[in-house]
Chains A and B, each alone.
Chain A
Amino acid sequence: MKVLVIEDYAPLRESLCQGLREEGYTVESAGDGEDGLWKARNTQPGVVVLDLMLPKVDGLTLLKRLRESDKQTPVLILTARGGVDDRVAGLNLGADDYLPKPFAFAELLARVGALVRRRYEQRSPRIDVGKLCIDTAQRKVTLADEEVHLTPREYHLLELLARHAGDVVSRQDIWNAVYEFESDSSSNVVDVYVSYLRRKLDRPNAPSMIETVRGHGYRLVQEPSHRTTPC
């Protein structure tokens, strides 16, 4: 899951990015409102963490402009302005949550996680797809009650597929969700990580849980079909 952090104070921005990355999130960051708005529109973040006092374009204006085109992406506002008026103004403009500074990093993580769940209309932090179970709070994956150890990137890829279980997720969407904008990875990396996941999830000589839909992308299924050919 990709999180976009828009914060102009570099020490805070860097710490947030580091913390979120270490929790397995893919992180984009921006130091001003103009850059932040561009990345919010073009890198398809799962959640935007937005500071209000920003150079070039302030946070509320950014939110207003973002909501003109994008009504889905959850936005968590961070600000030292914790007054009722400021909170109401932010929420009225389309923010999904509000976290006054200073905050505990654990609380920020919990709120980001809650926003992700809300986005996918998932009330419980658990996603079940057949025998596969993903605990998004613990970031733990079990398959038939056996824990599967995944790298953060593998985990995010699986979580994305599980959230859209039964539907096709395009390579581009996977790319946008899992990889950072600045990264120089090629689109081939998506296929590589899918193959890593298949190795960890699929049983030998059994059909894969991750189906390849040629020309479109991948699909996570509950009951693997014998017709699908692993890639």
Chain B
Amino acid sequence: MPRAYSIRARLLIGLIGSLTLVLAAGGGGLYWLQRELLLQDFDRRLDRGVLGGMRAVWRRPPENAPPDPTNITQPQEAAPNLPEPLLFVSIWTEGQPKPDAVVPGDFEVDSRFIEMLTESQNSTHLSVVLPDGRDARVVVRKLWPWPGARGDWRRDRNRDEPNTTSPPEPAQTQEPPARPNRYVIAGGDLSTLNAALRDWLLLLLAGGAGAEVLVVTIVLLAVGRGLRPLRAMESNLAQMDDDDLGERLGVEQLPAELRPFVVQLNKLLERIEGAFNREREFTANAAHEFLTPLTAIRTQIEVALRKERSAEEYRATVERSLETLMSLQRLVSLLMDLARLEGGQVHARGERVDLVGVLREKYDHATVVAETHGCSIDLQLPGELHWHTDARLFDRIAHNLIDNAAHYADPGSTVHVVLQCVSDTVRLSVTNLASSLDDHDLPRLGDRFWRKDASRTDTAGHCGLGLSIVRRCVDVLRGTWSAQLEQGRLTIKIDLPQLAEPTVPGSAEHTP
């Protein structure tokens, strides 16, 4: 797995690396430019020097005669002063193994110069290492025009002046035979130029190192400053604990890149806080639901034991304690059912269920509850409706929904229970007047132990688990649940699909 570098490391590596490359490229470019300029200057001086050097190997022409480059001889002086920056001058005839003339005479020439002749065109500049190890710049230049060759000024002059000293002989009318080319090869010592380039390189390196230090410092500061909001955010996050999830990260001061991230983080915190609060509430409610009956039983017994009583009084105390114990047992049973449903231990078994029959049975039971609260139940059922679903889970859903509606409906109101087919699902709707509810309560319906009233200890068996169990049963039956509140009327709709096959073949798990 590739190692995940920190953003700081990535930024530092990226910025310092790229800026170093830019610096290196800039330094290299400057070095190359300086070298080219110095070489051009050197070459110009070399070219100028070649003309002077040629004098050393030319025989001085007669007075008023044009210079004749073919008139070459070894220099009269043993060591003529060659103009700067010339190191040597030599004349070569193409195809010859040795030069025609070399100045100074003891200058050592080798075969590389012959190779240069073949490689060169009319004129070229080359950098070479001389046999004695010195770096030199060499200019190779074809001597042009060559006597007798095309463009020879003497031949052209004779052609232009036919009536001079002697009439042209017939043989002279013919083109002279082609003669090998001659070249001048002159070289200059590059040591001064190289020294200047070395100085320039050192200057560039020193400047580059300084610039690099500056770049690293600026990048470190800029990256540190740029990452400051992240560090501040980290510090804020570190200060949060699960006891105080109400805190949110500030968005206004953040850079634009971080803002969407923090907004999403805040939304996540909000969701986590909601879940935490629900869990805390559940724990507190569960504690209350268990501890209050337990306290009642303990108090009943302790009070009974504080003094001698008659057998009837003891019997009455035991009966009260037993009744309280039974309500506690009902609560434990409901919680166990809910835990099994939430834990995925309950599986639906598809079977043909007479939904109308089930609802009529529930109606009979709920009517008694409704009457005690001064309500009535209106049942709207089709003549017959058989559906492939889990009989016990549907029974539980119908019982809890209708019983819940009858218990919590406003006194004097009517609970409407409607069963109908909607495309390929069956819909059970239960509507009751619940004027105490508001829209904020809708998402809480089905939360464990949630009841609109803070009172926890309803001895009638309503402890806020009925709708939670309905929701889990609907999930197991792959159905959907929705709750709507319109003008104080709460409607809970359950849509159930047909279950063709048992969801887990062979599982005969009991439903609550």
> How would residues 222 to 235 of chain B score, 1 for a CB under 8 Å from any chain A CB and 0 otherwise?
00000000000000
B interface, how many residues as a size bin?
Answer: 20 to 34
- A59 vs B496: C-alpha distance when bound (angstroms): 42
Task: Knowing A19-B299, A105-B303, say if A11 contacts B456 (CB, 8 Å).
Answer: no
- The complex places the Cα of A103 from the Cα of B297 at a distance, in Å, of 11
In the complex, are the beta carbons of A81 and B296 less than 8 A apart?
no
B293 is an interface residue with CB less than 8 A from chain A: yes
Which residues of chain A are near B294, meaning CB under 8 Å? 101-102
Of B291, B298, B299, B323, the residue contacting A80 (CB under 8 A) is B291
* Residue of B284, B287, B295, B453 touching A12 (CB-CB under 8 A): B295
Total A-B residue contacts, Cβ distance less than 8 Å: 89
By DSSP majority rule, is chain B's interface helix, strand, loop, or mixed? Answer: helix
Partner of B288, one of A16, A19, A53, A56: A53
Q: How far is the CA of A201 from the CA of B456 in the complex (A)?
A: 49
Once the chains bind, are B296 and A19 in contact (CB under 8 Å)? no
Residues of A within 8 A of B454 (CB): 53-55, 58
Cβ 8 A contact of A11, one of B284, B306, B307, B459: B459
B252 cross-chain contacts in A, Cβ below 8 A: none
Q: Is the CB of B303 within 8 A of A22?
A: yes
Knowing A9-B459, A55-B455 touch, does A80 contact B284 (C-beta < 8 A)? yes
Does residue B34 face the partner (Cβ distance < 8 Å to A)? no
Size bracket, chain A contacts = 20 to 34
B301 smallest CB distance to A (angstroms): 9
Chain A nearest CB from B484 CB (Å) reads: 26
Is A18 touching B459 in the complex (CB atoms < 8 A)?
A: no
Take A18-B303, A104-B302 as given contacts and tell me if A54 and B295 are in contact as well, using a CB distance cutoff of 8 Å. no
- A206 touches B (CB below 8 Å): no
With beta carbons under 8 angstroms apart, the residue of B299, B306, B453, B459 that contacts A22 is B306
Q: Is the CB of B292 within 8 A of A15?
A: no
Q: A12-B292, A103-B295 are in contact. Are A53 and B455 (CB under 8 A)?
A: yes
Q: Report if B414 contacts A (CB, 8 A).
A: no
B453 touches A56 (CB 8 A): yes
B320 on interface, CB distance cutoff 8 Å: yes
A9-B293 CB under 8 A given contacts A19-B302, A55-B455, A80-B288: yes
Say which residue of B288, B290, B293, B295 sits within 8 Å of A81 (CB atoms): B288
B residues neighboring A (CB under 8 Å) = 284, 287-288, 290-300, 302-303, 306-307, 320, 323-324, 453-457, 459
Chain A residues packing against B (C-beta within 8 Å):
8-12, 14-16, 18-19, 22-23, 32, 53-56, 58, 78-83, 86, 101-106
8 other contacts beyond A8-B456, A8-B457, A9-B459, with CB at 8 A cut-off?
A11-B459, A12-B296, A15-B320, A19-B302, A55-B455, A81-B288, A86-B284, A106-B302
